[in-house]
Amino acid sequence: MDPTAAKYIGAGIACIGMGGAGVGVGIIFGNYLAAAIRNPSAAAGQFANLIFGFAITEALGIFSLLIALLLLFALG
Amino acid sequence: MDPIHQFEIKNLLPIFRIGTTEIALTNSALFMLIGLGLILLLMLGATRSRALVPGRLQTLAEMFYEFIAGTLRSTAGPEGMKFFPLVFSIFMFILVLNVMGIIPYAFTVTSHIIITVAFALLVFLTVVIYGFWLHGLRFLKLFVPTGIPIYILPLVTAIEVLSFFSRPVSHSVRLFANMLAGHITLKVFGGFVVMLAGFGFLGWLGAALPLALTTALTALELLVALLQAYVFAILTCIYLSDALHPGH
């Protein structure tokens, strides 16, 4: 296969990993919203935990995006 | 039309060179200085009057202060407040640099991994050095959680060590990749507008769609810029809390 074509296909495959992070972030915000509607008075106290969980989950998707960007722009 | 072109470092003012290494004022350094100047203006202007009933500028500065102080107290406890200057400086600097990057033709300093790695390593080394200085070898209890059955303890410890050392990587890459990906997306959609507009009258009608999307994405990027500065600050608080209380 042409190496350039393989590079672009690899970048596309690497982006699939972001789907998992999307599911994870959706679960985190969805569960936070569900809990916040049940008990609105406790919602503000858990905002820091929400952002922390979001950041940890999002990092994994960002890693796969980084691989895609490295393939596209950094590696030959 | 190259989406990476906007991140190019330009040499604005050569100062001197050591061997083959050139020391120069680049556009990155220039925007860092502008950001520093804006923070200084805000903080000096806000604390100049020190009124009991604060004015507009003082209210803004107090909001930032209370926000970071509250986050630090709730994650690292009251003794974490000795790290307040560090966390507040990092938060304000990243916030201002991120938001300045949204302005068209401005340079986004935080979209370069060398900048974010410098911040992440500063936090990481602060945690390691301060943790060993405060607790001595008891700091290593960080890797051995209590209440774990003895037969899976080696596995858990290995995972804890691995996750501790991957912290500076994820801490820096998160901010860098978010800013980089956001600005590339904006540039790509901006490129669609120009390409479609080249097709004549029908192209102009078609170009309205990506133009509207670019506007919406700019609003999203503003949210991401604020959120990532907050995420960086809160993770700094959580990592510093490990240096203060290693035994969980």
Q: Give the ipTM of the model, two decimals please.
A: 0.76
Give the number of beta-carbon pairs within 8 Å between A and B. 37
* DSSP letter assigned to residue B221: H
Q: What tens digit of pLDDT does each residue of B78-102 get?
A: 888 999 999 999 999 999 999 999 9
Nearest residue on chain B to A46, alpha-carbon basis: B74
Pairwise pLDDT comparison (B135 vs B53), residue with the higher score: B135
- Other C-beta atoms closer than 10 Å to the C-beta of B226 total 13
Structure tokens at A24: 């994870």
Instruction: Evaluate if residue A69 carries a pLDDT over 80.
Output: yes
Closest CA to B60 of B73, B78, B46, B70: B46
**Mean pLDDT for all residues in chain B:** 89
Cβ-defined contact of A51 to B227 (cutoff 8 Å) = yes
Q: Which among A48, A62, A63 is the nearest to B234, CB-wise? A: A48
For B193, the domain range is 5-244
Q: Which among B173, B227, B235 is the nearest to A66, CB-wise? A: B173
Instruction: List Cα–Cα distances, A11 to A4, A18, B80, in angstroms.
Output: 11, 12, 42
User: Under DSSP, is residue B107 helix (H, G, I), strand (E, B) or coil?
Assistant: coil
Residue B56 is which amino acid? Answer: R
Does residue B166 sit at the A interface (CB-CB below 8 Å)? no
How close does chain B come to A28, measured CA to CA in Å?
15
Q: What tens digit of pLDDT does each residue of B22-76 get?
A: 888 888 999 999 999 999 999 998 888 777 788 888 899 999 999 999 999 988 8
Kindly list the domain boundaries of chain A, sorted by start residue: 20-74
CB under 8 Å to A70, separation ≥6 — which residues?
A: none
Domain A20-74 matching CATH 1.20.20.10: the answer reads yes
Structure tokens at B175: 């901010």
pTM, two decimal places: 0.87
Unique residue bearing structure tokens 């600005």: B183
* Domains of chain B: total: 1
pLDDT value, residue B248: 58
User: Phi and psi for B26 in degrees, rounded to 5?
Assistant: -100, 175
pLDDT value, residue B57: 86
Closest CA to B35 of B116, B78, B99, B87: B99
